[in-house]
């Protein structure tokens, strides 16, 4: 039974290296700056958001601009007073961008993170499986 | 579909968080070491599988498998789902933290119900029971999602291409997919490692006899 467990964990490890190759992984929506006063709303797999509504707020949290992105996901706004830009695609994805601050902290590398998490789960399973066996014998 | 931060109203987020806390307490209470391996592995499976997103029209759907988790883990399903969702929210910003309660509830309720439904039909064909539960769990999740969205803002229902309509139509394929896969998976498990289901089946019949 322990042999099967090792096989299962091995398969899990292999699967997680295959997973990143899957063409579509979960969507995260981002706002990217093209130039001052011009942003593009995209998903983390590179596709553009074609139906997102963008709202620009000033430092006092007042709305100074609102509109839809164009077919390329681009939204132009007046940079005067713009402090925070929020995009919402109406389908549960929401992104926020604080002007000035570089909001592009590198997102965690997908493949390795998934691999790590799955290994973690596998390890926990293995550890407790062994403990239970020892208790039994 | 994992709801992101800011989509739900504060009240809905607060209420769902509270209910989820209670459900989690129930899920964790009395957990035995024997249950941890399968809970951990299924949490990993759920984590991995929900990262896949299938574009359907203007939206995307994600495999959920709350039914499968519910049947195998029973009471511990909410725990596995919560941990998977938490990691997704923290590591990949897939789903928000304020909406973690809502997302967990959306899956936990169908999972727990699936467990009851499946084991309540002991004796019938496994593939059938599995398929029923697989399809049911997706439907239930979408229904709960609709309730949460409408409670936040009735505007979600406006228009032929309203968010609700898109969500429903988008998830129809998933109902079929999960029904098939859940049925097949449970049949496979019943053949290869019936103890996983067997112990619970025996327990369920014992409980019913009492």
ipTM: 0.82
Q: Is the pLDDT of residue A102 over 60?
A: no
Task: Give the residue extent of every domain in chain A.
Answer: 1-25+107-137, 29-105
Q: Which residues of B touch A117 (CB under 8 A)?
A: 44, 47, 87, 91
pLDDT tens figures, A22-52: 444 457 899 988 887 888 999 888 888 888 9
Beta strands (DSSP E) in A16-106 are 29-35, 38-43, 53-57, 63-68, 74-76, 84-88, 94-98
Query: What φ, ψ does residue B70 adopt, rounded to 5°?
Result: -65, -45
Among residues 178-197 of chain B, which lie with CB inside 8 Å of chain A? 193
For chain A, the 3-state helix, strand and coil shares in percent, each to the nearest 5, are 35, 30, 35
Half-sphere exposure of B43 (CA within 13 A, CB side): 29
More confident residue, A14 or B151: B151
Distance CA B210, CA B201 (A): 14
> Average model confidence (pLDDT) for chain B?
87
Domain containing B125: what range? 10-204
Q: List the single residue in A25, A90, A125 with the smallest CB-CB distance to B37.
A: A125
* Residue A52 DSSP code: -
Split at pLDDT 50, 70, 90, the class of B176 is very high
Flag the least confident range among A106-115, A120-129, B87-96: A106-115
Give the CATH number of the domain where residue B190 resides: 1.10.1760.20
Residue B210 domain-assigned (yes or no): no
Other C-beta atoms within 10 Å of A68: how many?
A: 10
Q: pTM value?
A: 0.71
pLDDT tens figures, B114-164: 999 999 988 888 899 999 999 999 999 999 998 998 888 877 777 666 778
Residue B4 domain-assigned (yes or no): no
- Asked whether the beta carbons of A39 and A32 are under 8 A apart, the reply is yes
Residue B67 domain-assigned (yes or no): yes
Residue B181 domain-assigned (yes or no): yes
Q: List the single residue in A51, A117, A128 with the smallest CB-CB distance to B87.
A: A117
pLDDT score recorded for residue A117: 93
Residue B174 domain-assigned (yes or no): yes
Split at pLDDT 50, 70, 90, the class of B196 is confident
CA distances from B50 to B1, B124, B164, B185, B202 (A): 9, 30, 21, 17, 31
pLDDT score recorded for residue B45: 95
More confident residue, B174 or A106: B174
Number of domains forming the structure of chain B: 1
pLDDT score recorded for residue B203: 53
Residue B109 domain-assigned (yes or no): yes
> Average model confidence (pLDDT) for chain A?
81
Residue B83 domain-assigned (yes or no): yes
Distance CA A78, CA A58 (A): 11
CATH code linked to domain A29-105: 2.60.40
Split at pLDDT 50, 70, 90, the class of B210 is very low
pLDDT score recorded for residue A3: 64
End-to-end CA distance of chain A: 14
pLDDT score recorded for residue A104: 47
Interval A99-128 mean pLDDT? 80
Determine the distance in angstroms separating the CA of A91 from the nearest CA of chain B, rounded to an integer. 6
Residue B193 domain-assigned (yes or no): yes
């Amino acid at each position: 039974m322990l042999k099967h467990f090792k096989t299962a964990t091995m398969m899990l490890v292999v699967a997680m290296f295959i997973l990143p190759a899957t063409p579509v992984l979960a969507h995260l929506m981002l706002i990217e700056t093209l130039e001052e006063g011009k942003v593009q709303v995209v998903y983390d797999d590179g596709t553009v958001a074609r139906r997102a509504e963008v709202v620009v707020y000033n430092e006092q949290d007042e709305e100074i601009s609102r509109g839809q992105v164009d077919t390329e996901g681009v939204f132009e706004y007046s940079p005067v007073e713009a402090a925070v830009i929020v995009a919402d695609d109406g389908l549960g994805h929401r992104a926020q961008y604080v002007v000035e601050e570089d909001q592009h902290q590198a997102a965690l590398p997908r493949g390795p993170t998934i691999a790590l998490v799955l290994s973690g789960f596998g390890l926990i399973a293995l550890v407790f499986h062994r403990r239970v066996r020892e208790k039994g014998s | 579909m994992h709801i992101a931060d800011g989509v739900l109203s504060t009240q809905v987020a607060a209420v769902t968080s509270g209910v989820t806390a209670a459900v989690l307490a129930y899920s964790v209470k009395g957990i035995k070491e024997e249950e941890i391996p399968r809970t951990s592995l299924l949490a990993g499976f759920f984590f991995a599988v929900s990262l896949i997103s299938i574009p359907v029209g203007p939206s995307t759907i994600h495999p959920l498998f709350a039914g499968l988790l519910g049947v195998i883990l029973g009471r511990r399903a909410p725990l596995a789902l919560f941990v998977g969702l938490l990691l997704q929210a923290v590591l990949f910003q897939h789903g928000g933290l304020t909406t973690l309660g809502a997302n967990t509830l959306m899956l936990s309720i169908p999972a727990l119900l699936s467990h009851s439904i499946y084991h309540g039909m002991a004796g019938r064909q496994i593939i059938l029971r599995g398929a029923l539960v697989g399809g049911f769990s997706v439907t239930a999740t979408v229904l709960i999602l609709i309730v949460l969205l409408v409670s936040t803002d009735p505007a979600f229902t406006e228009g032929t291409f309203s968010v609700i309509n898109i969500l429903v139509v988008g998830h129809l394929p998933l109902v079929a997919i999960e029904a098939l896969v859940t049925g097949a998976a449970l049949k496979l498990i019943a053949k290869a490692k019936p103890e996983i289901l067997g112990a619970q089946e025996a327990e369920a019949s014992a409980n019913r006899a009492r």
